[in-house]
Amino acid sequence: MRYLCLIYDEEKKMAAMAKPESDAFMGEYFAFTEGIRKSGHFLAGEALQPVHTATTVRVRNGKLSTTDGPFAETKEQLGGFYLINAKDLNDAVQVAAKIPSARFGSVEVRPIMEYDQA
């Protein structure tokens, strides 16, 4: 079954990390990704550019409105994601718990709506 792991970090804190720390952090991400590729969990995963690069698009009454920034100002910001294959929620949670940002921020785990099932 597929799950999306949405990674939320406090961007300011992450940006304030000294270079050796942030290099080490990236190293952890690399190792984690390799690990879940080997275990067969990995389907996709990306880091996102920082939230100031976000643009929010809404269409109301046929009119397009484009605003600068994320859809909502939050304490933690969406920083990346992994799409994984997992046996059940316990399995998905085990994977999510190993995402490096889980120690500082939050990872939301959501099952994918599979439309091809009944």
Task: Give residues in contact with other proteins (CB under 8 A).
Answer: 1, 87-90, 93, 111, 117-118
- Contact assessment for residue 101 and residue 32, using Cβ atoms and an 8 Å cutoff: no
The pairing of strands 106-111 and 42-47 is unpaired
Cβ distance to other proteins smaller for residue 61 or 90? 90
Q: Residue 63: enclosing H or E segment and its boundaries?
A: strand 63-68
Cβ distance to other proteins smaller for residue 57 or 118? 118
CB 116, min distance to other proteins, A: 11
CB 3, min distance to other proteins, A: 8
CB 115, min distance to other proteins, A: 13
The pairing of strands 106-111 and 77-85 is unpaired
φ and ψ at residue 42, rounded to 5 degrees: -70, 130
Cβ distance to other proteins smaller for residue 52 or 87? 87
Structure tokens at 101: 């940002």
Cβ distance to other proteins smaller for residue 1 or 54? 1
